[in-house]
Amino acid sequence: MLYRATGPVTLVGGAPVSAERLADALALAPEAIAADGGGDVALPGGARFRAVIGDMDSLRDAEALRGAGVAVQPIPEQDTTDFEKCLYSVEAPLFLGVGFLGGRLDHTLAALTALTRVPAGRVVLIGDEDLAFLCPREWELPLAAGTRVSLWPLGPVEGRSTGLRWPIGGLRFRPDERTGTSNEATGGPVRLDFDSGPMVVILPAGLLGTVVASLGAAG
């Protein structure tokens, strides 16, 4: 473990980063760490990265960052992505990831897959339109009627729901068989309970604050 944080951490990746979403993340998790090329992103308000972690095949100007007091931590192994290198090098109660959804499809898929390698609900990935997180075994959030709730299994998953237009009880989800995209809330609490298996919840990005609060309660 290279770094420890007592509060939430914003991780910044190399995919296109929305200034609005970056500001949303930093408001909740002001300590920032970059994954390789994410270190080239300008943080708002004169904020600086605590560190840049990765294999450094994308970062444009490591020396400028070092000169600004940013720790540049090369990790040359190629068995993991730069996102995963950050996750195993930093200890924090919660990670908000910006710059990992969007851009190259293979990078997005790798980031979603990496969610299965940390405790459920510990990482929220934030894109322009969506946010995504690995659902805890039990999770609840009040949502307005019509709010989009998509469920994407990363393996065999079974569970139950309340507050969804199309309940999931009795369904067996598998990425090669059945997924749960474009479900929606009926209004009021949405509750999900899973017996086993990794399920990613995908919601509108504007719900970030309430999602983070709900994951704290679930944790």
Residue ranges per structural domain of the chain = 3-128, 138-201
Average pLDDT over residues 147-151: 97
CATH class of the domain defined by 3-128:
alpha beta
Average pLDDT over residues 39-58: 91
**For residue 83, pLDDT beyond 90:** yes
Of 57-71, 123-137, 138-152, give the lowest mean pLDDT range.
Answer: 57-71
Q: With contact defined as beta carbons under 8 Å apart, do 34 and 74 qualify? A: no
Q: With contact defined as beta carbons under 8 Å apart, do 118 and 32 qualify? A: no
Cα separation, 219 vs 215, whole angstroms: 6
pLDDT at 31: 95
Q: Say which DSSP state 217 is in.
A: H
pLDDT at 208: 97
**For residue 141, pLDDT beyond 90:** yes
**For residue 219, pLDDT beyond 90:** no
Nearest to 13 by CA among 32, 31, 37: 37
Cα separation, 139 vs 60, whole angstroms: 40
**For residue 218, pLDDT beyond 70:** no
CA atoms within 13 A on the CB side of 40: 14
CA atoms within 13 A on the CB side of 197: 21
pTM of the model: 0.94
Q: What is the pLDDT of residues 161-192, one digit of tens each?
A: 999 999 999 999 999 999 999 999 999 999 99
Alpha-carbon distances, residue 93 vs 51, 62, 81, 214 (angstroms): 17, 28, 21, 14
Q: Say which DSSP state 57 is in.
A: S
Length of the chain equals 219
